[in-house]
Amino acid sequence: MLVLVAPGQGAQTPGFLTPWLELPGLADRLSAWSDVAGLDLIAYGTTADADEIKDTAVAQPLLVAASLAAAEALGASPDLLAGHSVGEFAAAALAGVITAEQALGLVRERGLAMAKSAAVTATGMTAVLGGAEDEVLAALTAHGLTPANINGAGQIVAGGTLEQLTALKEEPPARARLIPLAVAGAFHTDHMAPAVSQLRVSAAAITPSDPSVKLLSNADGQVVGSGAEAVERMIKQVSNPVRWDACMATMAELGVTKMIELLPGGTLTGLAKRGLRGVETVALKTPDDLDAARELIK
């Protein structure tokens, strides 16, 4: 069983789209999607620096466009689809719930709304690696932090105010390593609540279709059979924790044997190597990885 997965914010790096523009038709596709997103996706994916593409309003459309473009270049027919955080919009489009253009339009509004919410209070996120899960979660609760991403494989991402994150750094959980993340705010926490309302208004004009391929939800890792429910879950997910651990558990239950991570790949296949042992993986980073991905599909 093959699962295609789309990465979330933080996976982008300067210039990551450059080699992909050599593929026939891909530049034209990105140019058309740039009009929808209201951003020059080609420029942001090739010449922009790290600070420019860290901007939430830029990073989210850029990542979704990159995943969709890579999926089109790959041409695979997966048995299962999933996305991490904003990657859910790419997965929903590939499942036929919404069109690529609708996904990019919604993600544009999502990014703007989340950036606006992040500007209200100085917030951030810190990855907590290792430690006993119950002790890590207890430490986050003690400092008023939210486990914004429970990624499995010994990785939990804490979200909250900078003061709360500093307190966690000064009093970390036992046997855990803390890594501050280069993000603009505490995503998937209550700090993003205003963005939920704004995104729901934007989504009201869309009539989603039911998924044509099994689609997993970040909310609980379960398969979502209704297009309307899939969109509603993605809207709510803006201020709720991402349960990638639950998504991987469902992948194991369904019998996933192969995983291909769409552009810019590496994060989710890295988690799978520890959380889904025995599953063959390929991460799409450059067009050279397409051959390995196609060989995996065979």
pLDDT digits (tens, 9 = 90+) for 152-199: 989 999 999 999 999 999 999 999 999 998 788 999 999 999 999 999
Rounded-to-integer distance, Cα 125 and Cα 134, Å: 19
Q: Is 228 helix (H, G, I), strand (E, B) or coil?
A: helix
Nearest to 158 by CA among 175, 170, 171, 141: 141
* Mean pLDDT for the stretch of residues 113-133: 94
Whole-Å CA distances, 118 to 38, 78, 122, 270? 21, 35, 7, 28
pLDDT recorded at residue 38: 95
Contacts of 70 (CB under 8 A, 6+ apart): 20, 262, 263, 284
pLDDT recorded at residue 183: 82
Sheet arrangement for strand 80-83:
214-215, 80-83, 2-6, 258-261, 280-283
* 235 has pLDDT over 90: yes
* Mean pLDDT for the stretch of residues 33-37: 96
Report phi then psi at 173, rounded to 5: -65, 155
Helix (H) / strand (E) element for 123: namely strand 123-130
Query: Among 3.40.50.10490, 3.40.47.10, 2.40.50.100, 3.40.366.10, what is the CATH number of 2-119+189-297?
Result: 3.40.366.10
Share of the chain above pLDDT 90, in %: 95
CA angle 118, 152, 271 (to 5 degrees): 95
Contacts of 90 (CB under 8 A, 6+ apart): 6, 63, 64, 67, 68, 71, 83, 103, 262
* Mean pLDDT for the stretch of residues 18-36: 97
CATH class as words, domain 126-180: alpha beta
The domain ranges of the chain are 2-119+189-297, 126-180
pLDDT recorded at residue 10: 87
pLDDT recorded at residue 73: 97
Instruction: Tell me the pLDDT of the chain averaged across its residues.
Output: 96
| pLDDT 10s digits, 54-73 | 898 999 999 999 999 999 99
In sequence order, the β-bridge partners of residue 258 are 2, 280
Rounded-to-integer distance, Cα 241 and Cα 217, Å: 11
pLDDT recorded at residue 184: 81
Task: Sort strands 280-283 and 258-261 into parallel, antiparallel or unpaired.
Answer: parallel
Centroid of chain to Cα 293: 20
Contacts of 109 (CB under 8 A, 6+ apart): 198, 199, 202
Share of the chain above pLDDT 70, in %: 100
Please check whether residue 181 is in contact with residue 148, taking contact to mean a CB–CB distance below 8 angstroms: no
Catalytic positions are 85, 188
